[in-house]
């Protein structure tokens, strides 16, 4: 083991001793506590940690999160469009600590499913009875030639994890001359938040409309169609002249050069698989995705790069006592969204608490709702409840999209509701 | 029943509410939009904590049947049975209503208070346990009140006949703007 340094050794020794003492002591106060470790403090992991403590305060919960603050991807497109501050999507873990969750800011680098322990980059070791893995996504960097994490961090942002990437893209838009072109390159599916790139295109167009009206957004699409296409196109026609000569948004499907093969970052050119070249002033290249690295290196993924789980409990199909929730898991037909992750986390919390108490799991149900903000006083939504049938998450017809041709008033209401949703869900996750 | 017994009852109900995983599975999915224990942080999704349980069930049934105009609720309500509506209703009815401070115009508040007392208060009593009321509207989010009163007024949302008459009388006697005055008053009730 290459990272088995002295510090690491001492930590392991220390925690083994601690367990040993707790195990053989007769003091009633030191009864053997159940331990849950959660990796990742985003929409899924933070919710799971909180609800496990809420459901059974005798369970010891440790949340391992790489960053001191979490920036939500949801509403980050409003930051990119200049409609909200980066501070307003930033959350600390102070309030979660109030639930008695042990918060550790470190990167989990190894899971050992047999000895049931997690090792972090600092060399700390955490033993668990149950483990929740909620690392979100990571990128498949090798699929677009010329693109790598280094270039992403300074010049060609993906902004598909929020924070410094969000700020970088926003600054580039502010610095751009009027008359410029902004490219949004959409990855192949599945990826985090399928409507996200089109919401982003809309809010960038909204910014350009008032500040740089001779500019435009060019969306490069690797397939033929996209999520909620009709609703987006209707909004773009109403708000941004879509389909006219002066449209603020252009959309190129695969057949028209939308499928990206190579990035020439130096000359700000994107090459398509069919030979077209697209030159731009700002490039937002969103790479193809898979489950967060820790899930990949811990063998929790299958050939698709995502983690198969039992839908009743979100326990991994590959390793016992490990649950995977949120974007990293395969939960189709639920989309990879913040609301899905939050809802799965609550089911997972009940499953874990009941398992540790020796109780049978119930039949769960799940909910997802996503709002997309498309411009001034304009939002659309999708909402659905999912049930479990034959051990699979199933959509039974209780759900749907905002209707086509709705009035301005309805679209305005959905924007008010979208902001309400954001206030409430972030409280549910982080407070 | 004296105050102490009521409190005790409420806390018993509250505790059983949290003790049951079955119930959590139903109501915890609402939190992402309606807030902790139904206390939405706004600005427009309504607070449903302390909502009269009969009105709650009625609202959910109307959403499910498509009788009440809605954006998302008309889809979500389809997932549940009447028995589940009842369980949810009882849970939310037993949660404390926690309103937030809102920005109001004081002259409107003063005018609104008078007309509200004259035309609305008799039905919208603060005490939702009387079974007469609707949602608590004193302290509700102003944007939500605005949307619903506008739907009542334009007829998009069906209004029970007695309320309709009352609102018509109000508008006739005091003018349309008095509705906005009432909204400011309702929004101010819990500001301190
Ligand atoms: C532009 C955009 C817009 C979106 N809009 C919406 C929306 O409107 N509504 C909606 O519901 N969803 C939306 N989403 C999707 C939503 O952001 C994700 O689906 C959601 O965040 C998934 O939650 P998660 O817990 O799986 O992952 P995340 O929220 O990404 O959390 C993962 C956490 O794990 C940490 N982590 C990862 N690996 C490790 C490790 N090894 N050790 C320690 N910590 C680790 C990360 O630092 C991170 O904090 C949007 C996404 C994008 C990109």
Q: In angstroms, rounded to a whole number, what is the distance separating the alpha carbons of residues A138 and A294?
A: 9
**Facing A398 at nearest CB: one of B18, B75, B147:** B75
- SS3 at position A296: helix
The predicted pLDDT at position A21 comes to 39
Element (H, E) at B11: helix B3-19
**Number of alpha carbons in the 13 Å side-chain half-sphere of residue A328:** 33
A14 phi/psi in degrees, rounded to 5: -60, -45
Q: Which residues contact A412 (CB under 8 A, 6 or more apart)?
A: A377, A378
Phi, psi of A300, rounded to the nearest 5 degrees:
-90, -10
What mean pLDDT, rounded, does chain A reach?
A: 93
**Is A362 in contact with B21 (Cβ distance < 8 A)?**
yes
pLDDT of residue B162: 81
Quick one: pLDDT at residue A32? 58
Give CA–CA dist A61/B55, Å, rounded: 40
Decide if pLDDT at B131 tops 60: no
pLDDT averaged over every residue in chain B: 85
Measured in angstroms, how far is the CA atom of residue A43 from the centroid of ligand 1? 6
In this predicted structure, the answer to whether residue A269 has a pLDDT above a threshold of 80 is yes
pLDDT of res. B137: 87
CATH architecture of the domain A143-285 equals: 3-Layer(bba) Sandwich (3.50)
Phi/psi of residue A407, nearest 5 degrees? -70, 165
Nearest CB partner across the interface for B42, out of A339, A402, A420: A420
- Ranges in chain A annotated CATH 3.50.50.60: 18-138+289-362, 143-285
Interface residues from chain A to B (CB-CB < 8 Å): 51, 54-55, 339, 342-343, 346-347, 350, 353-354, 362, 364-367, 369, 381, 383-385, 387, 396-400, 402, 410, 413-414, 416-417, 419-421, 423-425, 427-428, 431
Task: In whole angstroms, give the CA distance from residue A326 to residue A260.
Answer: 27
Report the first-to-last Cα separation within chain B, whole angstroms. Answer: 30
- CA–CA separation, A428 vs B57, rounded Å? 25
The answer, yes or no, to whether ipTM is higher than 0.95 is: no
- Tens-place pLDDT, residues A353-408: 999 999 999 999 999 999 999 999 999 999 999 999 999 999 999 999 999 999 99
Tell me B129's DSSP state. G
In this structure, what token pair is assigned to residue A109?
A: 């680098």
Compute the average pLDDT of residues A23-50.
Answer: 78
How confident is the model over B155-166, as a mean pLDDT?
Answer: 85
Chain A environment of B44 (Cβ under 8 Å): 413, 416-417, 419-420
| pLDDT of A346 over the 80 cut | yes
List, in sequence order, every residue forming a beta bridge with A384; answer none if it has no partner: A368, A399
Q: What's the pLDDT score for residue A62?
A: 98
Give tens-digit pLDDT for A120-169: 999 999 999 999 999 999 999 999 999 999 999 999 999 999 999 999 99
Judge contact between A298 and A111, C-beta under 8 A. Answer: yes
Distance CA A308, CA A294 (A): 15
- Cβ <8 Å between B75 and A421: no
From A166, A193, A348, mutation site for ligand 1 pocket: most ligand atoms within 8 A of C-beta: A193
Q: What is the pLDDT of residue B136?
A: 78
HSE-up of residue A15 (Cα within 13 Å, Cβ side): 15
Residue A41 and residue A83 in contact, taking contact as beta carbons nearer than 8 Å: no
Tell me which DSSP letter residue A83 carries.
S
Top-confidence residue, A408 or A2: A408
Which tokens sit at A103?
Answer: 């918060």
**Domain A18-138+289-362: CATH class, spelled out:** alpha beta
Task: Report, as an integer, the average pLDDT of A109-118.
Answer: 98
Does pLDDT of A102 surpass 50? yes
**Look-up of token digits 């969103």:** A286
pLDDT mean over A322-333? 98
Measure the CA–CA gap between A344 and A326, rounded to whole angstroms.
Answer: 7
**Among the listed ranges A61-65, A68-72, A110-114, B65-69, which one has the minimum average pLDDT value?**
B65-69
pLDDT value at residue A328: 98
Q: Please report the pLDDT score of residue B135 as a whole number.
A: 61
Give the whole-number percent of chain A exceeding pLDDT 90.
92
Residue of A324 and B148 predicted with greater confidence: A324
For the CA atoms of A40, A42, A44, A48, the dihedral, rounded to the nearest 10 degrees, stands at 70
Q: In this model, does residue B16 exceed pLDDT 50?
A: no
Q: Return the minimum-mean-pLDDT range out of A120-124, A331-335, B54-58.
A: B54-58
Q: Which pLDDT does position A31 carry in this prediction?
A: 54
Q: Please state the rounded mean pLDDT for residues A190-207.
A: 98
Contact B76 A366 (CB under 8 A): no
Is the pLDDT assigned to residue A257 strictly greater than 50?
A: yes
Nearest CA, atom 19, ligand 1: A337
pLDDT at A25 over 60: no
pLDDT digits (tens, 9 = 90+) for A61-80: 999 999 999 999 999 999 99
Query: Quick one: pLDDT at residue B191?
Result: 63
Nearest CA to ligand 1 atom 25: A44
CA distance A62 to chain B (A): 22
Q: How high is the pLDDT of residue B134?
A: 56
Query: A176 with A278: CB under 8 angstroms?
Result: no
**A150-159, A374-383, B103-112, B167-176: least confident range:** B167-176
Q: Is the pLDDT of residue B12 over 60?
A: no
Does the pLDDT of residue A321 top 90, yes or no?
yes
In this prediction, residues B168-191 reach a mean pLDDT of: 92
pTM of the complete model: 0.93
């Amino acid at each position: 083991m290459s990272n088995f340094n002295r510090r690491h050794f001492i930590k392991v020794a220390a925690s083994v001793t601690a367990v040993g003492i707790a195990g053989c002591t007769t003091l009633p106060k030191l009864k053997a506590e159940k331990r849950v470790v959660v990796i990742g403090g985003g929409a899924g992991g933070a919710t799971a940690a909180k609800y496990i403590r809420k459901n059974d305060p005798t369970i010891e919960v440790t949340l391992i999160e790489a960053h001191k603050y979490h920036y939500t991807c949801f509403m980050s497109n409003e930051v990119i469009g200049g409609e909200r501050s980066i501070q307003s999507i930033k959350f600390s873990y102070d309030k979660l600590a109030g639930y008695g969750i042990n918060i550790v800011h470190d990167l989990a680098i190894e899971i050992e499913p047999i000895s049931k322990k997690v090792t972090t980059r600092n060399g700390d070791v955490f033993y668990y009875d149950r483990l929740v893995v909620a690392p979100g996504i990571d990128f498949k960097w090798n699929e677009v030639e010329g693109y790598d994490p280094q270039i992403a961090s300074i010049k060609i942002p993906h902004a598909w994890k929020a924070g410094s990437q969000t700020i970088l893209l926003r600054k580039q838009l502010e610095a751009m001359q009027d008359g410029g072109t902004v490219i949004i390159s959409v990855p192949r599916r599945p990826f985090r938040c399928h409507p996200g790139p089109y919401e982003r295109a809309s809010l960038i167009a909204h910014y350009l409309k008032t500040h740089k009206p001779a500019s435009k957004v060019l969306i490069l699409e690797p397939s033929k169609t996209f999520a909620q296409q009709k609703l987006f196109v209707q909004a773009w026609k109403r708000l941004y002249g879509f389909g006219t000569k002066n449209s603020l948004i252009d959309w190129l499907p695969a057949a028209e050069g939308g499928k990206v093969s190579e990035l020439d970052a130096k000359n700000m050119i994107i090459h398509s698989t069919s030979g077209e070249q697209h030159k731009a002033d700002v490039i937002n290249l969103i790479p193809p995705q898979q489950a967060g690295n820790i899930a990949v290196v811990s063998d929790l993924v299958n050939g698709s790069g995502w983690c198969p789980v039992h839908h009743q409990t979100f326990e991994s199909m590959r390793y016992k006592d490990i649950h995977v929730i949120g974007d990293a898991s395969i939960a189709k037909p639920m989309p990879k969204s913040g609301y899905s992750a939050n809802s799965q986390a609550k089911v997972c919390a009940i499953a874990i608490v009941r398992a540790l108490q020796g109780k049978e799991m119930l039949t769960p149900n799940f909910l997802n709702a996503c709002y997309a903000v498309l411009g001034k006083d304009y939002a659309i939504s999708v909402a659905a409840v999912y049930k479990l049938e034959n051990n699979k998450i199933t959509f039974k017809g209780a759900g749907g999209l905002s209707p086509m041709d709705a009035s301005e008033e309805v679209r305005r209401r959905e924007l008010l509701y979208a902001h309400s949703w954001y206030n409430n869900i972030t409280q549910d996750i982080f407070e | 029943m004296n105050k102490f017994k009521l409190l005790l009852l409420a806390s018993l109900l509250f505790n059983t509410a949290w003790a049951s995983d079955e119930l959590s599975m139903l109501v915890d999915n609402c939190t992402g939009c309606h807030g902790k224990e139904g206390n939405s942080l706004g600005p427009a999704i309504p607070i449903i904590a302390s909502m009269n349980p009969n009105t709650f069930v009625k609202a959910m049934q109307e959403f499910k049947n498509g009788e009440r105009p809605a954006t998302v609720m008309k889809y979500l309500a389809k997932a549940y049975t009447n028995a589940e509506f009842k369980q949810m209703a009882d849970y939310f009815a037993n949660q404390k209503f926690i309103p937030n401070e809102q920005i109001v115009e004081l002259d409107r508040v003063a005018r609104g208070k008078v007309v509200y007392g004259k035309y609305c208060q008799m039905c919208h009593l603060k005490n939702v346990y009387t079974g007469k009321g609707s949602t608590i509207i004193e302290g509700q989010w102003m944007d939500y009140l605005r949307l619903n009163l506008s739907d009542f007024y334009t007829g998009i949302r069906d209004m029970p006949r007695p309320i309709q008459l009352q609102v018509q009388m109000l508008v006739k006697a005091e003018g349309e703007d008095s509705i906005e005055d009432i909204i400011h008053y309702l929004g101010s009730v819990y500001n301190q």
